[in-house]
Amino acid sequence: GLRVGRVLSEAGVVTLDPGFTNTGSCESSITYIDGDRGILRYRGYPIEQLAKNSSFLEVAYLLIYGELPDAATLEQFIRRIQRHRLLHEDFKAFFTAFPHDGHPMAILQAGVAGLATYYEDTLDPRDPEQLSEAAVLLIAKMPTMISYIAKRAAGLPLLYPDSQRGYAEDFIRMTFGMPYQAYDIDPALVRALDMLLILHADHEQNCSTSTVRLVGSSQANLYASVASGVGALAGPLHGGANEAVLRMLTQIRDSGDTVQSFVDKVKNKAEGVRLMGFGHRVYKNYDPRAAIVKDAAHDVLTRLGKKDDLLDIAMELEGIALADDYFKERKLYPNVDFYTGLIYSAMGFPTKMFTPLFALGRLPGWIAQYKEMAEDPATKIGRPRQVYIGEAERSYVPLRQRS
């Protein structure tokens, strides 16, 4: 709840709102969420319709520019992105500077920030052309970067982008394909990945997006701001949850304990275990994305002919939790990431690559929110206040006089 802090002499009354549960940081016309009714819309379009009918790059355009593009505009946008998917050759050495098993989110964060050094004529957020170019460069190069990180972690050769292939398709090829070998991808899997990227594309003022805006409010460039968003997303309470869900399901399976006993452990809170992939700050009914992902998980696993005992555990876990008063009272439902890891894993992505996939999906949202902030005349540098609860003034005690 909202508490009013102490009266500060120079600032008047300061609202104290830990976690900003009641504080709006901006006006925005990008994404609408009604957490009680389980509604999510991008620029007015229901997420269900976009997930079913649209493509990730079309949704990226919609989020960034506010309208669905006509065919020619979309074609031009896609071509612009396709043209820029190569990374500078020098940049390849960058990936070898990290331990091969370093966490991909740390490498991605550094890589995104480092792009600013190659494209210094795209750094000014007050120049619409520079901003538009930076947006295209980021959308174009992030999949290449993520596939390089995955390949290096596996000790396999890197592949250059193929501009004749679609965005999600070529990302899969670069991540799993080998040089001089044809790589045929099941279009249904490409579509599933594209759809997951759409579902992650924006979610108004979540932790990473607020971070992007806060960093950007100092007129830091888009690369620096998005890199900060990648850092925020890496946390296990945010984007890192998809990875944590899979670890949790694997632990339950390997422990030999029943699913019910795991739920009991979560409920008694003694070990500080949470049911990962459950609960959401805003959705207190259900997360509309979770329903779509659950169906997709079934489709993809069936398509691949994979029987995954982790999916069975996930469904049992969901069933028990949804019927349990602890979860009902606290309005805890599966969120978008409860089932995504199962799909990524069935597609062959190692667990550590799950959160970079989230980052790739969230990128258009970060860009759209940064752009909206940069264009809003009401934007001021973000600078929250605090309620000081430390010592009153006291005098320095020389070291030898301290006991």
Q: Which is nearer to ligand ACO, 95 or 349 (CB)?
A: 349
Please list, in sequence order, all residues whose beta carbon lies within 8 angstroms of the beta carbon of residue 161, skipping any fewer than 6 positions away: 82, 85, 86, 143, 144, 170, 174
Quick one: residue 68, left, alpha or beta (phi over 0 = left, psi -120 to 50 = alpha)?
A: beta
Taking the complex as a whole, how short is the minimal distance between the CB of residue 242 and ligand ACO, in angstroms? 8
Q: Which is nearer to ligand ACO, 65 or 326 (CB)?
A: 326
Residues 8-67 that bind ligand ACO (CB under 6 A): 19
254 is catalytic: no
The two structure tokens encoding residue 39 = 């509604």
Residue range at the interface with ligand ACO (CB under 6 A); choices 76-84, 110-118, 188-196, 272-280? 272-280
Q: How far apart are CA 53 and CA 165, in angstroms?
A: 19
Contact between 152 and ligand ACO per CB under 6 A: no
Q: Which is nearer to ligand ACO, 253 or 274 (CB)?
A: 274
Contact between 237 and ligand ACO per CB under 6 A: yes
* Angle, alpha carbons 250-251-255 (nearest 5°): 120
Residues 239-258 that bind ligand ACO (CB under 6 A): 239, 241
C-beta pairs of 182-190 under 8 Å, 24+ apart in sequence: 186/303, 188/299, 188/300, 188/303, 189/300, 189/303, 189/304, 189/347, 190/166
Contact flags string 278-307 toward ligand ACO, x per CB under 6 A: xxxx--------------------------
Taking the complex as a whole, how short is the minimal distance between the CB of residue 5 and ligand ACO, in angstroms? 20
337 is catalytic: yes
CB 15 within 8 A of CB 4: yes
CA 205 to chain centre: 12
Contact flags string 312-351 toward ligand ACO, x per CB under 6 A: ------------------x-x--xxx--------------
Task: With H, G, I as helix, E, B as strand and everything else as coil, classify residue 32.
Answer: strand
Residue range at the interface with ligand ACO (CB under 6 A); choices 54-62, 234-242, 307-315, 380-388? 234-242
User: Which position among 43, 84, 238, 371 is part of the footprint of ligand ACO (CB under 6 A)?
Assistant: 238
Contact between 266 and ligand ACO per CB under 6 A: yes
Which candidate, 354, 373, 360, 370, places its Cα nearest to that of 59? 360
CB 203 within 8 A of CB 365: yes
Count other C-beta atoms under 10 Å from residue 79's C-beta: 11
Q: Which is nearer to ligand ACO, 77 or 278 (CB)?
A: 278
Count other C-beta atoms under 10 Å from residue 214's C-beta: 20
Taking the complex as a whole, how short is the minimal distance between the CB of residue 403 and ligand ACO, in angstroms? 40
Taking the complex as a whole, how short is the minimal distance between the CB of residue 8 and ligand ACO, in angstroms? 26
Q: How far apart are CA 5 and CA 300, in angstroms?
A: 51
Contact between 276 and ligand ACO per CB under 6 A: yes
Catalytic residue among 280, 308, 324, 376: 280
Contact between 194 and ligand ACO per CB under 6 A: no
CB 311 within 8 A of CB 357: no
Strands 3-8 and 45-46: unpaired
Taking the complex as a whole, how short is the minimal distance between the CB of residue 193 and ligand ACO, in angstroms? 17
CA dihedral sign of residues 141, 142, 148, 151? negative
Residues 88-147 that bind ligand ACO (CB under 6 A): none
Q: Which is nearer to ligand ACO, 127 or 324 (CB)?
A: 324
Contact between 277 and ligand ACO per CB under 6 A: yes
Q: How far apart are CA 269 and CA 206, in angstroms?
A: 26
Q: Which is nearer to ligand ACO, 176 or 358 (CB)?
A: 358
Residue range at the interface with ligand ACO (CB under 6 A); choices 25-33, 161-169, 218-226, 237-245? 237-245
Residue range at the interface with ligand ACO (CB under 6 A); choices 182-190, 248-256, 269-277, 307-315? 269-277
| Active site members | 280, 337
Give contact residues for ligand ACO (rule: CB under 6 A).
Answer: 19, 237-239, 241, 266, 274-281, 330, 332, 335-337
